[in-house]
Chain A
Amino acid sequence: MRLYEHEAKQVLARHRVALPQRTVATTADEAASAAAEIGGRVIIKSQVLTGGRMKAGGVRFAESADEAREAAEAILGLEINGQQPMGVLVEQASPVAQEYYAAVTWDASAKRPVVIFSDMGGIDIEEVAEQHPEHLSRTHISNLRPFSDFEAKLAVSKVGVTGGGLGRLSRIVAALTRVFLEYDLTLAEINPIGRLEDGSFLALDSHMDMEEEARGAHAALLRDLGVADEDTRQARPPTEFEIAGAQVDAADTRGVAGRVVEFDGDLGLIIGAGGGSLTLFDAVRSAGGRPANYCEIGGNPSVAKAAGLAKLVMSKPGVEKIAVMMNVVSNTRVDIMARGVIKGVIEAGYDPAEAITIFRIPGSWEEEGVKILDRYGVEWVDRSVSMHEAAQRAVAKMQEA
């Protein structure tokens, strides 16, 4: 879950990392008065959950309140990578002598957090890694031994920083690492850290991602930041259809009918589970089908949950047919799934024989499931028909219709 820049900076402020004077504004007038209060040159930055703000025109400088109003007006109306900004950050602009990069993230190969530091901040860090490897350090930290400040010092000193800057930068990197560890972040980045003419250091921009599973553990922090429970922080806000999907999943605790994502096609998908859904979604697309949605049904869902999902998908405008497909399942019961989808389709006002293009769930209680499917005239296939073939048959039926 990504935090906005202004939220990440609040987190840094709690850990006494020095930051420019700043205010969040949601209107152009607010931005103008914030600029007036800060005084002098300010920077106005779009608050969106995506990178590439600078390139898209989402970052501007202003010398006066009027300029700030104008800049904020433009930025507030500017969509970046499909996202509307939640507001702008108005910040004192500081003349910077040098920029540094600091980040802490998980190294999945080493299975440890890694502190990444560079004295070439402000530019694409992957480019630095490739072209100037001597300007970038990687320092892994232990999962067992508590983090200690010397590790931050090591990270900074590896790129050749010494003198007064070493201590000051190390303190920032140590604070960033503690933030990463304390709040179960998957990325904590300050880019750039600016060294000002007077030798002081400020965190000029920051990006933080919190592990989805850890949201509950950090409810207090999220409440302080004003992040609501229903705020998914995906790359785009959830649609009504997706919110309804999450409600179907939350209605009872049996099984999973999760990660419902809306697409603009005409073939509804009841697919599962994790890897099976990825495979089947690809299979439908490679057969020329146009999915109306993505979802992951798994575990051993109740009839009500499977029915709720089928009904939701069938109720989506433009959807008259669905495909019900899973990989060979270990725990999911075929008969329960058959009951659920047939029920959902009927409740949505359709005939299962017409609406269900294919049913491919090989697994336990298959014979019982087949009795139900046959009774309602639903075409089913067993494990001798592959996932891709099943998807092809579903798409072929769409094309006949």
Chain B
Amino acid sequence: MSVLIDADSTFIVQGITGREAVTMTRELLDYGSKVVGGVTPGRKGREVHGVPVEDTVRAFTEREQIDGAIVAVPPAFATDAILEAIEAGVKLIVVVTERIPRAEVARAVEYAAQEGARIIGPNCLGLIAPGKSKMGGIGGAADATRRAFQPGVIGVMSRSGGMTTEISNALSEAGLGVSTAISIGGDAIIGSTYAELMPLFEADEQTQGIAIYSEPGGPMEAQLAEHIAEHGSRLPVVAFMAGRFMDEMPGMRFGHAGTIVEGRADTTADKIARLEAAGIAVAERIEEIPVLLRERLDANGSGA
């Protein structure tokens, strides 16, 4: 098992004829993902690496089961593309587009919730169930992806796309491997937060532990700490905290759009305290993540 996608998941790429999307489609097919179609208005009848292109999402959903959509269209058209996919009945939408104003993201997320769909992103690299399938640019070329993301037992969630790969790579090198890795996106308002994804990992038999990347700004880490304090978890959770230097520089924006220290609760010091209070170990270096996880897995008697 894995989270959100498996080897049989079918999906489409919205904006498939864009330069970056063409490359991404090639990489997805090479990896074995079941990309069954692409949407670019006015390009019906074309093919991208053998994948048929249609004008609308409905052209696909009316004739076959589509499990997910990757939205890779420019920011001005992204919200419309997300709404189109939800309206057509797609239940998982991965938005890689950057720089969508947050009011628009919020509108799409609220509509998704109403229709029982889930959004990952925006401004993310997507997700991967190693050895099975991936959605989005995560990992890049297929061989590089196989190297950094080896199948295993740790669920990874990260606000940073690049650090999703770095952390997964460290887990793969350490022999723990990755069950599912999700790049959740770096914006202030995103479709799925750590706390919202946590129950999916809880329910996944393959997952034995969780690694998250965290950074200053926003309530997401506090939310996760609260969730775990309230509901408990069978999974040991290890967090890596980046951007510690930003605590000294309130009001300066570094990193992602969601990363700015505006109040006390936004600082890394505050977040570390909350995470630790909820029993989440906080690593100072990436290489500590597999070590801390293994200690906890051993204590749990997990076979990993």
In the complex, A touching B (Cβ < 8 A): yes
Scoring B160, B220, B255 by chain A CB atoms within 10 A of each residue's CB, the highest score goes to B255
Identify the stretch in B241-249, B274-282, B296-304 within 8 Å (CB) of chain A at 4 or more residues: B241-249
Q: Please tell me if the beta carbons of A274 and B160 are within 8 angstroms of each other in the complex.
A: yes
B253 on interface, CB distance cutoff 8 Å: yes
Q: In angstroms, how far is the closest chain B Cβ from the Cβ of A39? A: 37
Which residue of A142, A186, A279, A330 is within 8 Å of B140 (Cβ)? A330
Q: In angstroms, how far is the closest chain A Cβ from the Cβ of B263? A: 7
Q: Please tell me if the beta carbons of A274 and B255 are within 8 angstroms of each other in the complex.
A: yes
How many angstroms from the CA of A272 to the CA of B163 in the assembled complex? 10
B161 on interface, CB distance cutoff 8 Å: yes
A361-401 vs B, Cβ < 8 Å mask (1 yes, 0 no): 01110000000000000000001101111000000000000
Q: In angstroms, how far is the closest chain A Cβ from the Cβ of B98? A: 9
Residues of A within 8 A of B263 (CB): 126
Which residue of A108, A328, A388 is within 8 Å of B162 (Cβ)? A328
Residues of A within 8 A of B170 (CB): 386
Q: Which of A129-156 contact B (CB under 8 A)?
A: 142-144
Q: Please tell me if the beta carbons of B242 and A329 are within 8 angstroms of each other in the complex.
A: no
How many angstroms from the CA of A326 to the CA of B160 in the assembled complex? 13
Residues of A within 8 A of B186 (CB): 274-275
Which residue of B111, B145, B286 is within 8 Å of A388 (Cβ)? B286
How many angstroms from the CA of A11 to the CA of B43 in the assembled complex? 44
Give the number of chain A interface residues (Cβ < 8 Å).
Answer: 55
- A111-B106 contact in complex given A261-B254, A275-B213, C-beta closer than 8 Å: yes
Which residue of A142, A234, A327 is within 8 Å of B110 (Cβ)? A142
Q: Please tell me if the beta carbons of B165 and A235 are within 8 angstroms of each other in the complex.
A: no
How many angstroms from the CA of A329 to the CA of B168 in the assembled complex? 12
Residues of B within 8 A of A363 (CB): 140, 144
How many angstroms from the CA of A142 to the CA of B103 in the assembled complex? 11
Residues of B within 8 A of A108 (CB): 188-189, 218-220, 258
Which residue of A143, A274, A281, A329 is within 8 Å of B256 (Cβ)? A274
Q: Please tell me if the beta carbons of A329 and B173 are within 8 angstroms of each other in the complex.
A: no
Q: In angstroms, how far is the closest chain B Cβ from the Cβ of A392? A: 10
Q: Please tell me if the beta carbons of B160 and A275 are within 8 angstroms of each other in the complex.
A: yes
How many angstroms from the CA of A70 to the CA of B136 in the assembled complex? 62
Which residue of B166, B213, B242, B251 is within 8 Å of A328 (Cβ)? B166
How many angstroms from the CA of A143 to the CA of B163 in the assembled complex? 31
Residues of A within 8 A of B3 (CB): none
Q: Please tell me if the beta carbons of A329 and B165 are within 8 angstroms of each other in the complex.
A: yes
How many angstroms from the CA of A212 to the CA of B114 in the assembled complex? 29
Which residue of A126, A236, A328 is within 8 Å of B165 (Cβ)? A328
A276 on interface, CB distance cutoff 8 Å: yes
Q: Please tell me if the beta carbons of B101 and A217 are within 8 angstroms of each other in the complex.
A: yes
Residues of A within 8 A of B10 (CB): none
Q: Which of A312-329 contact B (CB under 8 A)?
A: 326-329
B209 on interface, CB distance cutoff 8 Å: no
Q: Please tell me if the beta carbons of A286 and B284 are within 8 angstroms of each other in the complex.
A: yes
Which residue of B165, B223, B255, B257 is within 8 Å of A278 (Cβ)? B255
Could you pull out 23 A-B pairs where Cβ atoms are within 8 angstroms? A50-B251, A108-B258, A109-B193, A213-B75, A213-B257, A259-B254, A272-B162, A273-B160, A274-B256, A275-B161, A275-B242, A286-B284, A296-B255, A327-B165, A328-B162, A328-B169, A329-B162, A330-B139, A330-B145, A330-B162, A331-B137, A386-B287, A387-B285
